[in-house]
Chains A and B, each alone.
Chain A
């Protein structure tokens, strides 16, 4: 039978852990509210931006705009090098949040390896960076404190390298992998092919309502600057969506941990009571048998 003191100590330590997890849950709930609000407000813009770009891409694909030969809108056959940008959290203790993203990145890496395509891995978020470093996967570059504090200027700076390299022909694709916010209890993994703009959903046979007109002299300039904004905003949106998802994942993980701790305290209490009862019974038997033997 376990020592009474030992059980008591265990109960104490478990309820202390419970206090910590409960506090973390409350903190995450508060942070989630703010992050969620931000993500919600930006979502509409992100969606419309993607729509506008997709429409332009679709029209370019269907040859409705003559003579536009912008790299960003054309599917590149036999890519040689692609960029994968992943976003994970800077901190752990949020359930499967980070590992889901890492798994998706690994899957993508494997796919490209089979196709003999070189991959430049660019990381945002400490947890993912640590994982790939530990597993000796080469990272092209990384920033480790951007994912907890999304910042438009810094995210633009970061993604600019990929945009420039894409335009210069150094890379032939850009993927952004992150875990996004769906609702309070679920996160949704996004593996977005940002460049070249995805035109698969466009069916050229479908009657287009109208053709696109772009101011003649500056169509290249317009598309270039539009694509930069589009990629930049996609990156930023990935960051804020990821923060919201991180907090919701942590909130959930900590809620489960708190519940587990209270279950554990309950069963330890039962154990403690049993042990105490056993000790009392043994003592009683000893006294009674002592009295008996004196007769």
Chain B
């Protein structure tokens, strides 16, 4: 099965090269990197590093659209490149590329694979609580019992893309995909991944979380 790794990036000039190096070492898959309008030196750093690398395709958004939109750009490019499945991995180092082979193996049996964290280590309490509340609420409402709703380490096959197709441009991507997995009762696999927490101030705010949860009924019921 041809699997392509999709890496959305936004302002990760100090980490993105290291992440891509680890991905290249961990898997033989092609990689699509989507620079989502970074305002730091991410683009320059990537242009320099990837100049002679044929395994990596770099796409650059003119300005920032958000994680959901940049993942969609990467995934649609992956389908054009002939991928039968994709694995999405964050560029900020919070997902360990050494877990990629396990995603590749699981995708041979399952239509969609989610990574889950056990929140050991120095994860802020409010983030843990937010994740637990969101995971349980979405699970109870839409029938998708997950261990970690907000993990962005996701792999899925092309055949379910139309069913899980997301409209969220920003951080609602993971929740929207999970809600649609519940809607269409798509069987899924969860893989334990390392909990790596680096940026206290990045990610979903409480207001964002409420807005995202408020949209789940629309995602569940729309056709």
- A and B from one assembly? no
Residues of B with Cβ closer than 8 Å to A?
none
